[in-house]
Amino acid sequence: MQKKWKWVISFIVLMMIGIGSWVVFQQKKTQQLEAQLAELTASSKRLQKKITAFQDAENPAFVSETMTREAADSVLQASRDALARTDQLKIAEHSRFAKQKQSLVKAFQDCQHQLATLKEKQLAATRVQELFNGQPLADKHFVPEAAVREQVTLADVKNLRTEAETLPDDAFRAVIDQALSSAELQVGTSEEIQQILSQTISDDSVVQSLPRVERDHLRELIGYIRNESLQEQFLVQLSMINQQSEPAEQQVVALTFDDGPNDSSTVKILDILKKYKVKATFFVLGSMAEKYPAVLKRINDDGHEIGNHSYAHSNLSVMTDKEIQKDITQTNELIAKHSGQQPGLLRPPYGAFNQKVVQAVPGMRLALWDIDTLDWQVRNGKKIVEKVEQHVKNGDIILMHDIHKTTANGVEPLIKMLIKKGYTFRTVSQL
């Protein structure tokens, strides 16, 4: 009997020791699990903080400029590792830690989804940048004036449009959609223009004239082109088409330049006129013709008209008959000597003339102007364009001075503006 009780007591003691050991083991296991969950929770917060830093502070729909692909990949890998460690945790379904594990799994999955979206947005922004010249995306907006690169095709834009459809419907997606819509319009318009021109111009010559309504449509299409180089190319061809249209349908102007030539701004103006195939009239001074004979010769060789503007910009109306005749004749001879062209037009300095000036050289016509740009006074190319645009009408003669750098800077935008308005260019004698 005593032996039996000893055995029972021994058994109870062993059970208590076993239970105690099990309790200690479970406590350690729980403590270890709590530590792991705490570390993973902290990791989740750190990852989320890094992801937040990858988003724009003002609008989280946009990617911060500080995010690099390497940094995003590093955070993405850390999130994957953390998710793998979370999945490896052995937690019973009904354990008090089960919900915490599920929350961590979702948190790390969300991190990966956010990072994938940010990388897609960064790639989309880069791809859109590649469609345009310059910076089409600025301050979380699309720049409407952004010009598509010449080599971009509609297929390029449509492929990017398809890729963008996977982006979330947010402010960033709206900006990307605006950029792609602009690219589609510009490229589609360019292709339509090129199709029209291919049927109209061949080997730098107009082979088929266009009716007024079709020229107006072509001019409207060119207005949608933001690529300056491409627009200039189209405007040159439109100018050629306008030149070959029916005279009754044409709106014409004459560009005229006084007081030259020189070897700087006059040369730049000649280059621009040649680029757009525009012929103008240069009223030159005899003293400048003597100083820059090579430039005067180029004016003639390029097909422009040369007129007489006196020898030294003197007021002819206060001179004697002989002085007037000598001044004009001397200038005519210098022009003929250095250019081979015999002037038929006289533009008296300051527009000052009387009967003596009119009768000084038989056979020469007086040529004044309709629009004085006052370029010598304003010294601003933009203001030259604005003044002409406000006042120009069919048949106008436009006065400028080719000796000013600011005038030379304004000639190209002036020509482009006039072509867009449907004007054709003539020399004064052709009006």
Q: In the prediction, which pLDDT does 377 show?
A: 95
| Per-residue pLDDT at 380 exceeds 90 | yes
Please name every residue paired with 398 in a beta bridge, in sequence order, or none if there are none. 255, 371
Mean pLDDT value of segment 205-222: 89
Task: Considering only residues 391 and 18, tell me which one the structure prediction assigns the higher pLDDT.
Answer: 391
Matching residue, tokens 């009239």: 281
| Per-residue pLDDT at 24 exceeds 60 | no
Q: In the prediction, which pLDDT does 226 show?
A: 92
For residues 326 and 299, is the Cβ–Cβ distance under 8 A?
no
Q: In the prediction, which pLDDT does 246 show?
A: 72
Distance from C-alpha of 409 to C-alpha of 401, rounded to nearest angstrom: 12
| Per-residue pLDDT at 17 exceeds 80 | no
Average pLDDT taken over every residue of the chain: 91
Q: Which helix (H) or strand (E) holds 7?
A: helix 2-54
Burial status of residue 389 (CB atoms within 10 A of its CB: 0-12, 13-18, 19 or more): middle
Q: Which helix (H) or strand (E) holds 232?
A: helix 228-243
Contacts of 52 (CB under 8 A, 6+ apart): 60
Q: In the prediction, which pLDDT does 18 show?
A: 62
At 10, is the pLDDT very low, low, confident or very high (cuts 50, 70, 90)? low
Encode pLDDT of 99-129 as tens digits. 888 999 999 999 999 999 999 999 999 999 9
Distance from C-alpha of 280 to C-alpha of 278, rounded to nearest angstrom: 7
Q: Which helix (H) or strand (E) holds 269?
A: helix 265-275
Mean pLDDT value of segment 248-256: 89
Please choose, from the candidates 175, 60, 177, the residue with its C-alpha nearest in 3D space to the C-alpha of residue 118.
60
Mean pLDDT value of segment 421-430: 94
Please choose, from the candidates 146, 144, 126, the residue with its C-alpha nearest in 3D space to the C-alpha of residue 63.
126
Hey, what are 408's tokens?
Answer: 């030379």
Hey, what are 6's tokens?
Answer: 């000893």
Q: In the prediction, which pLDDT does 361 show?
A: 85
| Per-residue pLDDT at 95 exceeds 80 | no
User: How many other C-beta atoms lie within 10 A of the C-beta of residue 25?
Assistant: 10
Task: Considering only residues 33 and 102, tell me which one the structure prediction assigns the higher pLDDT.
Answer: 102
Q: Which helix (H) or strand (E) holds 294?
A: helix 293-301
Please choose, from the candidates 281, 405, 409, 399, the residue with its C-alpha nearest in 3D space to the C-alpha of residue 349.
399
Encode pLDDT of 162-209 as tens digits. 999 999 999 999 999 999 999 999 999 999 999 999 999 998 888 888
At 159, is the pLDDT very low, low, confident or very high (cuts 50, 70, 90)? very high
Q: In the prediction, which pLDDT does 270 show?
A: 98
| Per-residue pLDDT at 26 exceeds 60 | no
* Percentage with pLDDT > 90 across the chain: 76
Known catalytic residues are: 258, 401
Q: Which helix (H) or strand (E) holds 296?
A: helix 293-301
Distance from C-alpha of 77 to C-alpha of 72, rounded to nearest angstrom: 9
Q: In the prediction, which pLDDT does 247 show?
A: 74
Q: How many helices (H) and strands (E) does the chain have?
A: 15, 12
Q: How many residues are there in the chain?
A: 431
* Percentage with pLDDT > 70 across the chain: 93
Mean pLDDT value of segment 232-250: 85
At 311, is the pLDDT very low, low, confident or very high (cuts 50, 70, 90)? very high
- Using CA atoms, how far residue 9 sits from 2, 15, 22, 89, 150, in Å, is 11, 10, 20, 39, 96
Q: In the prediction, which pLDDT does 94 show?
A: 60
